[in-house]
Structure 1
Amino acid sequence: MIKVLIVDDDFMVAKVHAGFIQRTPGFAVVGVAHTGAQAVLETQRLQPDLVLLDIHLPDVNGLDLMHQLRDVAPELDVLVISAAREVETVRKALRGGIVHYLIKPFSQTDLQERLEHYRNTYQSLDSSKDVAEQSDVNRVFGLERADRPLPKGCSAETLQVVEKALRSGGGDVSAAELAVQVGTSRVSARRYLEYLNDEGLVDVTLKYGVGRPERRYAWKAG
């Protein structure tokens, strides 16, 4: 579960954002702060994974506060939620290492999309693996195969599930076996596997037996 601290000086806005987050699977609101000083104390006490940070706070600029928060929680990620639209403010936030910048007002869907992107990208770069693949880095920087469309009927979200299954499996699989693992049809699994083969990300071997040889796929090492 990803622990979220909300930092916003408006009590009602913070309550609305908390409701959005609680309706997003995999996230839990662990605290709310309405001033910069309170945010530092709560960050030190709760050690959240992610802070939803407003810029206009009564006692400090949110972008300056960001550095104070990371002093007490070095691994903290920050998602800015603000009405501030100045280009220089956005630039400063990006230089500060935020995961996203969401301009108020926004809908529940807008926030959920950013949270899901965070969960599927930044949170996937954890201690479960020591070396990042180029595809991992591409996801973080929003470059995930933007130059080549997925096959018809395929989605980027399911592709990530397929890649994770292949990387963690430690061996080769057939399309039928993968379909059972990820909960899709054999035909659909085959489309994803062949797409990854075309991208040069998997090795394909043929298993001979009775009838037609079976194609087996394994995540390419290195």
Structure 2
Amino acid sequence: MVARLNARFVERTEGFEVVGVAANGEEAIALCAALDPDLVLLDVHLPDLGGLQVLARLREAGSRAGVIMVTAERDADTVRAAVAGGAMQYVVKPFEQHDLAERLHRVRNALLALGEGDADQATIDRAFGAARSPSRVAPLPKGLSRETAQLVEGLLEQDEEVSSSDAAERLGLSRVTARRYLEHFVTTGEAQVRLRYGGAGRPERRYRRP
């Protein structure tokens, strides 16, 4: 029942898709080997193996999936063991859908920030900040959604600079909508804007992290 509820939460989060649901630890390990997911939600308490054992075996098998512990376990030693084992987030039940969505986006942004090849220190700092820090998304004006704001925030984390047209095309938004979110981040100090002058017409507004 809990697994199905978590799956529904994930399906409701923009940009995410459930590819498999496991009822126990051994099944989780087998599904990860078969499906190679980008991200795994993992409970500490499972019918067979403990969640920390599953996490260790996934890493031993070479899985690079981001792992979010989703559990009622609050013991500090368990939390430390999860962090040491490579979990990127730890969510204590009960929680609301938006709480999980925020952490899903932070892990996604961290994984996307790294990409392939070598990473400089600024990229590494952004990745660790995205994985560990609370969301920097400020309270949103009426008409703006938390999920879309986090997608736009993730785009700013990945790219040195974007325009509203870039954001609209890559996130499947209208240019006007993308610009509303980007301008919101400028207002809250979470983005900076510069004008790029080119041909005829008004200069293009380009956005980046401060």
For residue 108 of structure 1, what is the aligned residue in structure 2?
97
Q: Give how far 1:70 is off.
A: 2.2
- Deviations along 1:127-162, one digit per CA (max 9) or x if unpaired, are 288545344443334288x7xx98x97997487367
Supply the distance in 1 between the matched residues of 2:32 and 2:167 (Cα, whole angstroms): 41
Higher strand share: 1
Supply the distance in 2 between the matched residues of 1:118 and 1:98 (Cα, whole angstroms): 10
For residue 64 of structure 1, what is the aligned residue in structure 2?
53
Supply the distance in 2 between the matched residues of 1:130 and 1:51 (Cα, whole angstroms): 24
Q: Does 1:42 align with 2:31?
A: yes
Q: Which of 127, 131, 137 is equivalent to 1:140?
A: 131
- Deviations along 1:80-124, one digit per CA (max 9) or x if unpaired, are 111111111111111111111111122222212211222233333
Identity value in percent: 31
Unmatched 5+ stretches in structure 1: 1-11
Q: Which of 180, 184, 188 is equivalent to 2:179?
A: 184
For residue 75 of structure 2, what is the aligned residue in structure 1?
86
Supply the distance in 2 between the matched residues of 1:177 and 1:38 (Cα, whole angstroms): 41
Supply the distance in 2 between the matched residues of 1:13 and 1:52 (Cα, whole angstroms): 11
Higher helix share: 2
Supply the distance in 2 between the matched residues of 1:28 and 1:178 (Cα, whole angstroms): 21
Aligned letter for 1:39?
A
Supply the distance in 1 between the matched residues of 2:118 and 2:151 (Cα, whole angstroms): 21
Q: Which of 167, 170, 181 is equivalent to 2:160?
A: 167
> Is the partner of 1:75 in helix, strand or coil?
coil
* Equivalences, count: 195
Is residue 109–residue 158 contact of structure 2 (8 Å, CA) maintained in 1?
no
Unmatched 5+ stretches in structure 2: 169-174
For residue 75 of structure 1, what is the aligned residue in structure 2?
64
| Aligned-residue RMSD, C-alpha | 4.3
Supply the distance in 1 between the matched residues of 2:46 and 2:185 (Cα, whole angstroms): 52
Supply the distance in 1 between the matched residues of 2:34 and 2:199 (Cα, whole angstroms): 60
For residue 3 of structure 1, what is the aligned residue in structure 2?
none
> Is the partner of 2:2 in helix, strand or coil?
helix
- Deviations along 1:194-218, one digit per CA (max 9) or x if unpaired, are 8756xxxx8x6885999xxx69768
Q: Give how far 1:69 is off.
A: 1.6
Question: What's the TM-score once normalised by structure 2's chain length?
Answer: 0.67
